Structure 1
Amino acid sequence: MNRLAVVAAAWVLSVIAGHAGAAERPAAAPTPTNADEVFQRLGAEFVAADRSDGLSIAVVENGQARFYNYGTVSRQKPQAPTEHTVYEIGSITKILTSLILANAVGEGKVGLQDDIRRYLPGEYPKLAFDGEPVRLIHLANTSSALPDNLPALPADAEQAPFQAVAALKRITDQHVYTALASASPSDRPGHEPRHSNLAANLMGGILERVYGQPYEALLARYVEQPLGMAAGTGEARAALLATGYNRDRAAMPALDARSVLAGGGLRYSTADLAKFLGAQLSAKDAAIRLSQTPAWGDADNVAVGFNWIISKTIDDQLHLRHSGGTFGFSSYIEMYPQRGYGIVLLANRPGEAQGQLQELANRATEALWGKPPVLTALESALQASAYRDVAGTVAQVRREHRALHLTEDYLNQWGYRLLADKQTAQAVALFGYAAQQWPDSWNAFDSLGEAYELAGDRDRAIANYQRSLDLSPSNGNAAEHLRKLRQQP
């Protein structure tokens, strides 16, 4: 086992061992009957609410998989999906590509700190920022600061998906490398995660050059065959592919352009991804353990592994997740290693369906295990104090519930739920606490600025938007709100 694999294994073991003593014991595992009731209700509601035409769910718990399917794979010829129905998985592809990279690291083929230019054809003098090159680790942990797509997609890609897919099909490796010669990172690599299909596609191309094999062969060798998954590329299962639809229920083109294969072009069924998720939960393989190790950030707040988003729940449970979307599909995958539980959801609608799949997963988790006692205690205490002293209330609850764990992202979502419920003063208090806890977070101040703006406090809204912009000059949302607020009399 190489040094990085040892580090990964040690991290996983330390997290599990450390949490075993500190975290409150979760509620008893749900019974299959209870799980069936939960998913039958939530899945049926999802399709009935017209959030997707079809929905397939795989639930993996303690090595056992269960499948739930709803709706239809086609509006033209209604047919219920099964666990073998194939969907486009979008950016979840990046996790699988990153797993191939983890294997390459374990085999000594590449080093994570290698400058990516070492593996690219030609000269790319601009692939650095203030002397810091883009490294392989930056491609894996989403902090490369590279453009999202290169060559850039048409500006109206979402409105003209058929033309966009046709354009993607015409892009060759040479087109990408030619455009890359004049591209540069927008920020210091390693500074901040951001979405980049280009980064993942470059990762796939680098792996092809390192191994001298096509991406499809590497995917089969390191992911599909070891885990017993069917092929996620090619036309062998075209008859099983669901039809993707946009929010207006118009059929969308299949995303079958090889130029985006490594970054978002794979297709799988829930039967396939249940096997992938089971292997991720057991984490017996060194490459899988490495891919789950934080490579950016801190899991106590938020971290990124090899494209996995890593955080902890409010009751201190480790949580890994990712989502994806194409012109006609959405996907979501998450797991709680300490519970031995994970879920995959696939839908044939894009856009907001991604967030709705995550919401369904969250509702299922609460229905299966119940609301964490620490959350109940904190909600009650905050309501009793009318959110007047969030910091003091959190400290008080933490004395009784040592497992209380708050992340910036969790507080941010909570705050926006309060805003949606018209509890503006409470949201201001919660966002204010988040800004105190994470004074270097542009997002915390951006959210606080928005809450003050909705509360009608123009001066404090301007001050917090400006603080957010100072921390992140590329924050267009803060810049736009500042422009409008300063124009007001």
Structure 2
Amino acid sequence: MKKTCALSLLVVCLIQGVHAQDIDSIVREATVPFFADGTKAGLSVGVLKNGVASTWHFGTTTRGKSSRPDNETIYEIGSITKTFTSMLLAQAVYEKKVDLNDDIRKYLKGSYPNLQYKGKPIRLVDLANLTSGLPDNLPEKMPAFKSKDKAGQLFELKKIFDVYSQSQFLKDLHLVKLTREPGLIPAHSNTAAQLMGFLLENIYKSSYTDLLKKYITGPLKMENTFVTVPAALKSRAASGYNEKGVLMPEIPKSAGSAGALSSSLMDMIKYIGHQLEEKEAQVIMAHQLRWGDPDDSGIGLNWRLKTNFDGKRKIWASGGTFGFASYSVLYPERNFAVVVLNNQNNNGSEDGLSDLAQNIYNAFYFTAEERSAEGFGFSAGVRILLDSMNKRGFEQAIVLTNELKKKDAFFKLPETELNVLGYEFLRKKEKNKALEIFKLNVYLFPESSNTYDSLGEVYEVLGNKAAAILNYKRVLELEPGNPNAAAHLKKLMNK
């Protein structure tokens, strides 16, 4: 790894000719929208460029106290843990202990005839690229909550999972019934990542914690990254809060290889710097496309992949726990990365951190004039369509798209970009424009559950209950158990 410098608040490094004062202004300006609602607790931001790290810290580690975070403050990083677990899987492949296409049952003790769908088994790669078909969490059936308050329910969940053992997990795994073929449809699954951790322990005959230390945190000298934060370092750990500022419980340690890791900003910069270099075969393996379209929405080994609007590769991961949110993104061709850690998980916090990191990147590489142009941040196809819709009307979105496709065989509209565009119009209260964009996305990607989910949401906002219900039902047909669609459908059906 290259030597880095790490400075908080006052940045004196030079990054690609940008003066330190400009860098500081870029980051501070990017954080303004994040803190705009006045509810956030603390935030740590790290920027890595050409091996040079710069850091900033805002807010507090503990509400009611003047306790600004620093480079050693420890945050829960949630699902970014899954990228660590996938690095261990890549290590096992590199050592020829496993093959990514192996049936997972090869490494499970006991018989699991249920872990296949119509003869197609779950493979190791399916655990790492989100397509296993396993439920998001085990146990699938939870006891009824006593508390009617969401915060109270999370404390009840904490108690349940604190005593949920590996043996109980494996027992419940016998009860899982797959509803679709593995390898086809990605969906968030803590179960898959937890199982991956257990399989790696079986393969190496070593604990997950020891494997992390041997292959990742030890070599990278990550001294503040733990599954369980030691008592002696608890004073460095930030407190986590929900959207109302209520203190939240710590992540249950049974989350393990799916989301139990805590880390500091400097440790995460070391980790992301190692990923950014792409020197080791294991890192390259983790960043290779395992599902989807690399130009739009691809997945590696628990890393999200796409071609950014400027043609550069973008690789990222995010995480959320009861009281924390985190986001890491790297652009290998730019030798540029951003890490953002936050100790308050508001609704949409991960998206907010993603926007913050993207705004930092945009300010580094594009002028204010370029950034203010309509359609900035979207690929050429979306910009061309926007121009056409502004001239002929958004209700012509599907017609215009078909015309543009006839004129240019290479004309392309990425699903994720259309989804982002639709939500941008929703945020600006331009509901009918959002509706037409989401309808177009369903038209172009009729087998994607997310397109129907977004269309259902805009119909719900518009007060069209019947259309919203219809679309949420379609989501559940394509992706049984989708939590967002299930929750919205339940709410609408009870009205």
Task: Please classify the TM superposition score into its range, dividing by the shorter chain length.
Answer: 0.7 to 0.9
| Residue correspondence of structure 1 range 217-296 to structure 2 within 5 A | 217-233=210-226, 234=228, 235=230, 237-255=233-251, 257=253, 259-296=254-291
User: 2:465 and 2:342 mapped to 1: Cα distance?
Assistant: 41
SS where residue 305 of structure 2 aligns?
strand
Give the Å deviation of 1:29. 7.5
| Residue correspondence of structure 1 range 84-483 to structure 2 within 5 A | 84-152=72-140, 156=145, 158-233=151-226, 234=228, 235=230, 237-255=233-251, 257=253, 259-352=254-347, 353-370=349-366, 371=370, 375-376=375-376, 378=384, 379-387=386-394, 389-390=396-397, 406-448=413-455, 451=458, 471-472=478-479
User: 1:473 and 1:175 mapped to 2: Cα distance?
Assistant: 24
Corresponding residue number in structure 1 for 2:5: none
SS where residue 58 of structure 1 aligns?
strand
SS where residue 375 of structure 1 aligns?
coil
- Check conservation: 2:327, 2:339, Cα contact below 8 A: yes
Give the Å deviation of 1:274. 0.6
SS where residue 345 of structure 2 aligns?
coil
Q: Deviations over 1:378-410 (max 9, x none)?
A: 445542333354467679999999998642011
- Check conservation: 2:224, 2:264, Cα contact below 8 A: no
Give the Å deviation of 1:473. 6.1
User: 1:70 and 1:366 mapped to 2: Cα distance?
Assistant: 21
- Check conservation: 2:39, 2:244, Cα contact below 8 A: no
Question: CA distance change for structure 1 residues 456 and 32 in 2, over 3 Å: closer, same or farther?
Answer: same
Corresponding residue number in structure 2 for 1:22: none
Question: CA distance change for structure 1 residues 165 and 33 in 2, over 3 Å: closer, same or farther?
Answer: same
| One-letter code aligned to 1:349 | Q
SS where residue 55 of structure 2 aligns?
strand
Q: Which has the higher contact order (CA 8 A, sep 6+)?
A: 1
Question: CA distance change for structure 1 residues 450 and 231 in 2, over 3 Å: closer, same or farther?
Answer: closer
Corresponding residue number in structure 2 for 1:9: none
SS where residue 206 of structure 1 aligns?
helix
Q: Deviations over 1:126-173 (max 9, x none)?
A: 111111112111111111111222235555485333333233221222
Question: CA distance change for structure 1 residues 406 and 65 in 2, over 3 Å: closer, same or farther?
Answer: farther
Q: Which of 408-417 and 348-357 deviates more?
A: 348-357
For this pair of structures, how many residues does the alignment match?
Answer: 460
- Check conservation: 2:72, 2:224, Cα contact below 8 A: no
| One-letter code aligned to 2:255 | V
Give the Å deviation of 1:437. 2.8
| One-letter code aligned to 1:184 | K
- Check conservation: 1:124, 1:182, Cα contact below 8 A: no
Instruction: Name stretches of at least 5 consecutive residues in structure 1 with no aligned partner.
Output: 1-27
SS where residue 354 of structure 1 aligns?
helix
Question: CA distance change for structure 1 residues 269 and 474 in 2, over 3 Å: closer, same or farther?
Answer: closer
Give the Å deviation of 1:54. 0.8
SS where residue 273 of structure 2 aligns?
helix
- Check conservation: 1:112, 1:136, Cα contact below 8 A: yes
Q: What TM-score, normalized by structure 1, do the two folds share?
A: 0.83
SS where residue 227 of structure 1 aligns?
coil
- Check conservation: 1:315, 1:404, Cα contact below 8 A: no
Question: CA distance change for structure 1 residues 155 and 286 in 2, over 3 Å: closer, same or farther?
Answer: farther
Identity of aligned residues (%): 36
Q: What TM-score, normalized by structure 2, do the two folds share?
A: 0.82
Corresponding residue number in structure 1 for 2:6: none
Question: CA distance change for structure 1 residues 340 and 400 in 2, over 3 Å: closer, same or farther?
Answer: farther
